[in-house]
Structure 1
């Protein structure tokens, strides 16, 4: 009789820190990660509200980092991704995606230009190995670009919220106010040299993602210094639960939900990141065919529940006659907005009509109205 052995979960350098904080841990894409910190009056809602009104701290060290170097690095990244990297300057980043030849998603990514011959792509944790294999497969026929998986060498901590600048500024002489959104620099933080400081995040708030060497001592030193620096702003450690509700309020797509290998790049409403006329890239021909044949057949829409009920991921979406027409891709209560929201993939004509729909919530058909995405936008300073 054979017995199956559960696979060993990967751990970030902060795993012991999360456990000491009595975090609720879950298997997330093969990683042992905190979903929330219930102690000290905490939990998902308190964490979400801390990021919206003060500052929160996330361990995102499970994310993947893939580096491109060499004289053909820029052209290779341009060919592999849907945004236009020729518009980036040294020290600038943008949101993009790796696409299949069918124009669907391998993964969504952040692209950082370290230099013309030096690029860093940040990819999702659960898809990192697949992404790296895909990239290696494509790059094999393109000399002059050397690709390396640097994921094991980086820890990544996200400081997010309106008090993020004040929190991080205590720990560095780098002028953080001078770093524009989606730009980055290098500096000493909390006495740790050569830290990459990027004004990016996945919460809909201002904030930074800091990249340090991945050894436990350095990573814990950074985490503890940030927690201490943010204590006057009631900083909270935040788990994957709040990360998800924050990104949903901000209308940000999630791999396996709004984007995936069955969804083409014209469907999720990411048009501002898709530079279809930039020249040749993987997936372009398929997307041109879709565009030239009248556009995508489906679109991602925003929903706010009118009746009582929560439209969860995977719930069917119906028209007002009760016919199934689509599916909820992401849905949950919105703690800051104090309503129930969802994103759903529906026929393009339904999206264009703006009409109400029904969501099948267990035995009940719950009415929802279409609303613009993002649901939440932080106020401009």
Structure 2
């Protein structure tokens, strides 16, 4: 029997009404109250997520930047101290190893934040490219991560610190922030389409901070949130999820994150040849938004058809809690990706009509 991994907050879930599920080998809360309530709290107020299952690697040494330039699609040389960057790692054929965040702490000192289900794979892949002058350390087991998301996030977190959080800009971070006596790295990147903060600290301190944030946010109507709302929120904002919009068989260009692929940077990177060709000539497939015309909800891996022929499949789909529409993201042949194109989705035994629409489906403000 597989033993599921747990974060340091596991013992707290029950007291907040958490319903846990197996998520990629982790026992994590899918919801506390309800997915819709938690989704709405983040869109209008604030919600707190335990994302301690995410992976963290340190990359240090005189050759750290050269190593990252080789293994990352984005241009890491553009980062300054205290700045974060979204990027991808690719195989030679352009397929995606993972999408991740890089934090530049100092010259030759970087923090990488990777997807939980890919920790071991990513570490092994990076390790296979390490050369002299590069130190790669997996610190995932020692780090707790909380994500406070929503328009009132700054107001809530500011109650716990003297650091002026308004000075932490988008894709910026500050280290050694004192949060109610606990030291943390606080960044502002977000995975919900709303303003918010990611808080990295010693995993032993995470449960105490979780309780303090929820207590501080009570007057603002903050809610503890689970994986269900995390997924519907990121889906509405068209933020990719590895294993769905991105896989070893899907390139960043196909997945619509071509902005993290800098094919003109000075240092060649792994997968550059294929990705440069796709950028110049167009990729054979494209990730698009679809809205159901007929009644039905598109789900992951449902086939997308045109005139009865398969042209792709749904990567993520649900009834949007914000828009109250049945929507999906689908990876389809590029020739059918134009807005307004009618397609069909195979939902169980029925072939139901849908139309290609603009995504993201939601933008804050």
Whether TM-score is above 0.5 comes out as yes
Report how far residue 352 of structure 1 moved.
3.5
User: For 2:331, which of 340, 345, 370 is the aligned residue?
Assistant: 345
Q: Confirm whether residue 171 of structure 1 aligns to residue 160 of structure 2.
A: yes
Contact persistence 2:145–2:199 (CA under 8 A):
yes
Q: Confirm whether residue 74 of structure 1 aligns to residue 69 of structure 2.
A: no
Q: Confirm whether residue 85 of structure 1 aligns to residue 68 of structure 2.
A: no
**Residue in 1 that maps onto 2:303:** 316
Counterpart CA distance in 1 for 2:261 and 2:99 is 12
- Report the CA distance shift for 1:65/1:368 in structure 2 as closer, same or farther (over 3 A): same
User: For 2:244, which of 226, 249, 257 is the aligned residue?
Assistant: 257
**Residue in 2 that maps onto 1:286:** 274
* CA-to-aligned-CA distance 1:119-148 (integer Å, 9 cap, x gap): 011000011010001000111xx2111000
**Residue in 1 that maps onto 2:123:** 132
Report how far residue 288 of structure 1 moved.
2.6
CA RMSD of superposed structures (Å): 1.1
- Structure 2 counterparts to residues 184-263 of structure 1, below 5 A: 184-186=173-175, 187-193=177-183, 195-215=184-204, 218-263=205-250
Q: Confirm whether residue 183 of structure 1 aligns to residue 172 of structure 2.
A: yes
Contact persistence 2:156–2:213 (CA under 8 A):
yes
- Report the CA distance shift for 1:74/1:24 in structure 2 as closer, same or farther (over 3 A): same
**Residue in 1 that maps onto 2:283:** 296
Q: Confirm whether residue 33 of structure 1 aligns to residue 24 of structure 2.
A: no
Report how far residue 88 of structure 1 moved.
1.1
Q: What runs of 5+ residues in structure 2 fail to find an aligned partner?
A: none
Contact persistence 2:339–2:358 (CA under 8 A):
no
TM-score using structure 2 length: 0.97
Counterpart CA distance in 2 for 1:354 and 1:269 is 18
**Residue in 2 that maps onto 1:3:** none
Report how far residue 220 of structure 1 moved.
1.3
Contact persistence 2:151–2:194 (CA under 8 A):
yes
* CA-to-aligned-CA distance 1:161-210 (integer Å, 9 cap, x gap): 001000100001111111111100021012112x1000122111000000
Report how far residue 76 of structure 1 moved.
0.9
Report how far residue 241 of structure 1 moved.
0.5
* CA-to-aligned-CA distance 1:260-293 (integer Å, 9 cap, x gap): 101122211112111111130011022234445x
Counterpart CA distance in 1 for 2:5 and 2:39 is 26
Report how far residue 372 of structure 1 moved.
1.5
Runs of 4+ in structure 1 displaced over 3 angstroms?
289-292
Report how far residue 19 of structure 1 moved.
2.1
**Residue in 2 that maps onto 1:153:** 142
Q: Secondary structure at the match of 2:117?
A: coil
Counterpart CA distance in 2 for 1:144 and 1:334 is 48
Q: What runs of 5+ residues in structure 1 fail to find an aligned partner?
A: 1-5
Counterpart CA distance in 1 for 2:332 and 2:14 is 41
Counterpart CA distance in 1 for 2:340 and 2:98 is 29
Counterpart CA distance in 2 for 1:221 and 1:116 is 32
Q: Secondary structure at the match of 2:215?
A: helix
TM-score using structure 1 length: 0.93
Q: Confirm whether residue 305 of structure 1 aligns to residue 292 of structure 2.
A: yes
Counterpart CA distance in 2 for 1:60 and 1:326 is 31
Counterpart CA distance in 2 for 1:336 and 1:264 is 29
Counterpart CA distance in 2 for 1:276 and 1:209 is 29
